[in-house]
Structure 1
């Protein structure tokens, strides 16, 4: 395998700016979500994804792929949301091995409470310093990068690792 060339100054600057901007935005969003709806970032992603689905339902595997989260982590987050009455989980009618997650009326109400502040924060932090043309360019560039990254299998599709504890099989 050949060693890739080092990042040039412009590539490094762009990469570091993306990482820092992403971290700053995510931190602010997490604080807003916690205050407005007692939600984690991933819980909000799950509720928003369900809210954006025509039926308000998705398979757990599809949710994990969409939010790029591990199966076990997603299961924990879903359990927490279910205990709060924000979602329901049931065996999929199409595949007995799958679980379908559905947004409840209480979940829709939490989204309705959280969204105004969330949208205002995204406008303020991300879009305020940009022109409409900048936003269109940003959406195009990030869309292409995302699509390139999505060409590899999502994490939830990766084979599960077995425990390597002593005394246990495989």
Structure 2
């Protein structure tokens, strides 16, 4: 059994800073979206991913992977969006087990209205707090963490 490598002072500061910042940013964005658009952050991200796809739809399994969430959690969120008329679901023509989520016209409109406030909140909470060099370091560092954890 390998010996535990405890975090040194700099590593602990980085870990604590990451935890505090990520939780505070997430809470800030969740509240902004709830107040201004009546959406959770996950629901907003679902709309964003669907709108970015070529035909406004994605297979549920692919959408779950992009959102880094469980299939059951995604199913719940899509069901809530479907009840609100923002998203629909249809069967995959080539695989009876496959289901596609698609963005409705109403969903497109809600996203169009919600996006400016959300981008403003992202800027306020994170982007405009950092200079360009800090943003580049953050993007590189967090991108590397994500790449390693996905593989």
TM-score (structure 2 length as normaliser): 0.94
Contact 1:36 1:113 in 2 (8 A): no
2:87 paired with 1:75: no
Partner residue in 1 for 2:113:
113
Structure 1, unpaired ranges of 5+? 152-170
Shift of 1:72: 1.6
Task: Give per-residue Cα distances to partners, 1:29-63, cap 9 Å, x unaligned.
Answer: 01111112111121111111111112211111111
- State the Cα RMSD in Å: 1.2
| The structure with more radius of gyration | 1
| DSSP 3-state at the match of 2:126 | helix
Question: 2-side partners of 1:103 and 1:116: how far apart?
Answer: 19
Partner residue in 1 for 2:57:
57
Task: Give per-residue Cα distances to partners, 1:65-90, cap 9 Å, x unaligned.
Answer: 11122222211111110111101101
Question: 2-side partners of 1:117 and 1:78: how far apart?
Answer: 22
Structure 2, unpaired ranges of 5+? none
Question: 2-side partners of 1:53 and 1:2: how far apart?
Answer: 45
Number of aligned positions between the proteins: 151
2:10 paired with 1:13: no
Question: 2-side partners of 1:114 and 1:4: how far apart?
Answer: 46
| DSSP 3-state at the match of 2:69 | coil
Shift of 1:127: 1.6
| DSSP 3-state at the match of 2:58 | strand
Task: Give per-residue Cα distances to partners, 1:98-121, cap 9 Å, x unaligned.
Answer: 100011111111111111011111
Partner residue in 2 for 1:158:
none
Partner residue in 2 for 1:149:
149
The structure in which a higher percent of residues are strand is: 2
2:84 paired with 1:84: yes
Distance change (3 Å), C-alpha of 1:3 and 1:54: farther
Which 4+ runs in 1 deviate beyond 6 A? none
The structure in which a higher percent of residues are helix is: 2
